[in-house]
Chains A and B, each alone.
Chain A
Amino acid sequence: DQQVKQNSPSLSVQEGRISILNCDYTNSMFDYFLWYKKYPAEGPTFLISISSIKDKNEDGRFTVFLNKSAKHLSLHIVPSQPGDSAVYFCAASAKGAGSYQLTFGKGTKLSVIP
């Protein structure tokens, strides 16, 4: 039973356009959400996070939106750059558990075409 789902295994976007990566979750206990970026042969790199008390968090070109009623979050990258090409993982945790034990989606491979 996958509690965090990224339904698009891959996404291609033109350089300069917006990339939108989506993530759905089923566990209503999740209250903290993160996006990680992963290049081949490297560990995941933390990108941006959002607490369930917010519906939007922005950091430079990256914005995460959270829709709690729909149990859905998305990562927007504007403008997309070729260096953004990587696998993006959505992750969630139930902070009340007292840890950052993360449940990950299976990832979306983003390709930004020059």
Chain B
Amino acid sequence: DSGVTQTPKHLITATGQRVTLRCSPRSGDLSVYWYQQSLDQGLQFLIQYYNGEERAKGNILERFSAQQFPDLHSELNLSSLELGDSALYFCASSVEGSGAFFGQGTRLTVV
């Protein structure tokens, strides 16, 4: 158990819809990262938040957004969903000087 909690574990939704994925980082970790793993791709970095502020942005589509709340949990919002958005979405958290610890992921299926 990495200490990073993601909900829900599975999500099935239709094209055009909007979903919210939730992540609770390890206790004490200020940084939260979101990654996407598609079938034919490795883990792709999407976005990082540090203590409520956006810190770094990767290959995140404009239809996607994220935020980190005062209690440090984070949400990833995916809108106008397309079939190609079907993937595993991982959240990770870290503290300075350690590696990033990943949650179990949310498997999103867009039908």
Interface residues of A (CB under 8 A from B): 34, 36, 41-46, 49, 89, 91, 97-107
Contacts and interface: CB of A to CB of B under 8 A. Distances in A.
B4 A46 contact: no
A34 B98 CA distance: 10
Interface in B67-111: 90, 92, 94, 99-105
Contacts of A36: 102
Nearest to B102: A43
B2 A45 contact: yes
The 8 A-B residue pairs whose C-beta atoms are closest, nearest first, are: A43-B102, A106-B42, A104-B43, A46-B99, A104-B42, A100-B94, A44-B102, A43-B104
B24 interface: no
Interface residues of B, number: 26
B56 A43 contact: no
B103 A49 contact: no
Given A43-B105, A44-B90, A100 B100 contact: yes
A97 B58 CA distance: 13
A105 to B, nearest CB: 6
B83 to A, nearest CB: 22
